[in-house]
Structure 1
Amino acid sequence: MLFAVVTWQVAAEGPLLSADVRLGRALFGTGPTVLTELLADLGSTTVAPLALLAAIAYVLLRDLRQWRAALIAALAMAAVPALVVPLKLWIARPGPLEPDIGWYPSGHMATATVAYFGAALLVTPYLRRRWAMPVAAVLTVTTGVGLVLRGYHWPLDVLGSLCLFGALLPWLSAMCRRRSSSRTRTG
């Protein structure tokens, strides 16, 4: 629901859009450049998908029967450009520091959300402590912070991606935990 509201506000240039621009301009360039660049890079296609790939490899090496969960996580990552690119073309939002269009929703934020939470969902059953989801949340949120502070995206670009792909997480979680009845032990 929040994704629909944010997208409507960006597309229709509603009141949230002017607040977004003011907030973005106030935040751009703040923070140490090296750190904010590193945080923004956590959502790049050379970093985040590798985390998911490592989790997929780990899970398959532990239990090859988890191939469905691994496949679902990989398909969720493949869905990122399939959903984000058409939305970017449709919304055609100009960038914060460049006149180019196609900044909403943030592909880097979408990539980070799916990669880190997907990896956490895959590895959590194999961990003694439940630290993977909090780590995924920190990595995802700090990616968004880095993207905004570096001026790569407006705050609503980041929020829109988080809402869109965050809504997929419960579905992804359910699909990853689903067990075939043929493998379920009976009394």
Structure 2
Amino acid sequence: MRETTRVRGVPRPVRPAGWWCDALLLAGLVALTVALATGHLFGVDRAVADWAQAHRPAAAYWTAVVFNYLGQGSPLTLTAAGLGVLLAVRLRSVRPVLPPVVAFALTALTIGPLKVWTARPAPSASVKEPYLTPEQTLPLFQHDLPVRFAQSYPSGHVANAIVWYGVIALLLVPLLRTAGRRMPPRVVTVVRVAPPLVVLFTTTYLGWHWLTDSVAGLLLGLLLDRLLRRVPWDRVPLPGRLRAWDRPFTSIT
């Protein structure tokens, strides 16, 4: 097993390269939030939600429910953590545990607070508690509602799916290499892309989120994913006690 080295502190490459893409994603999220805060795009959200409700037979509904589990944050977190621990034991290195820990902290500090701050109900809030009128389910900043009824924007399912499947792919590649196997780049791409797209569709189709909630989750998730992919995991400084378990994992070839 051969190991390559990287310069300490140098960010890992991402595609598209450069910070302009990150700035564009952030600007898109801000612009979308401002548009919704000023009452725009409600017609699009309502039209998509109404169409989904009118084209949701039982078979399609339950199929979408099953596939939507691909975006459940807790199972994804545990899966990524388990892969990190397994790889850490195999390599006798603490470094594979770092991506799940940092991803958990990053998502906890962004997705949840944004949901609470924007305080938007889901489309389904008009057919179950708190039984709002259809018009009342659309606006942001409804802080008079209990928090549990106003956490739709942005979609945590979509954002979590992008972040966690990115971490899972990051860990699967070296884990398979320690077993003498190779994960083809196309498979890595499928792992990273397919589940988030399925979650984006299903969460909107089921009426659990507005279309703009899912788009916001997409923008936020891509931004967080790019930040995580830039981290030079093999060169992050470790405290003295952890240096005994200090071997690279992303550069295993």
Q: Give the TM-score band, short-chain normalised.
A: 0.7 to 0.9
Q: Secondary structure at the match of 1:167?
A: helix
Counterpart pick for 1:59 among 79, 87, 106: 87
CA distance in 2, matches of 1:150, 1:121: 30
CA distance in 2, matches of 1:183, 1:111: 28
Q: What's the counterpart of residue 165 of structure 1? A: 221
Q: What are the Cα deviations for residues 86-143 of structure 1, in whole angstroms up to 9, with x where unaligned?
A: 2122212121011432210112222222111111122224361221232221011111
Q: Secondary structure at the match of 2:73?
A: coil
CA distance in 2, matches of 1:90, 1:7: 11
Q: Secondary structure at the match of 2:124?
A: coil
Task: Return closer, same or farther for 1:7/1:68 CA change in 2, 3 Å cut-off.
Answer: farther
Counterpart pick for 1:19 among 44, 61, 69: 44
Contact kept? 1:40, 1:143, Cα under 8 Å: yes
Q: Secondary structure at the match of 2:71?
A: coil
Q: What's the counterpart of residue 45 of structure 1? A: 73
Matched residues, number: 182
Task: Return closer, same or farther for 1:74/1:183 CA change in 2, 3 Å cut-off.
Answer: closer
Task: Return closer, same or farther for 1:80/1:183 CA change in 2, 3 Å cut-off.
Answer: closer
TM norm structure 1: 0.83
Task: Return closer, same or farther for 1:27/1:180 CA change in 2, 3 Å cut-off.
Answer: same
TM norm structure 2: 0.63
CA distance in 1, matches of 2:82, 2:91: 14
Shift of 1:4: 1.6
Task: Return closer, same or farther for 1:180/1:91 CA change in 2, 3 Å cut-off.
Answer: closer
User: Which AA in structure 2 matches 1:92?
Assistant: A
CA distance in 1, matches of 2:96, 2:228: 9
Q: What are the Cα deviations for residues 120-172 of structure 1, in whole angstroms up to 9, with x where unaligned?
A: 12222436122123222101111121111111111111111121121122221
Q: Identity rate of aligned residues, in percent?
A: 25
In terms of fraction of residues, the more helix-rich structure is 1
Q: What's the counterpart of residue 144 of structure 1? A: 200
| Structure 1: tracts of 5 or more residues without a match | none
Q: What's the counterpart of residue 4 of structure 1? A: 30
CA distance in 1, matches of 2:123, 2:247: 52
CA distance in 1, matches of 2:236, 2:65: 43
Greater Rg, structure 1 or structure 2? Answer: 2
CA distance in 1, matches of 2:152, 2:172: 32
| Structure 2: tracts of 5 or more residues without a match | 1-26, 126-131, 133-148, 238-245, 249-253
Q: Secondary structure at the match of 1:116?
A: helix
Contact kept? 1:24, 1:148, Cα under 8 Å: yes
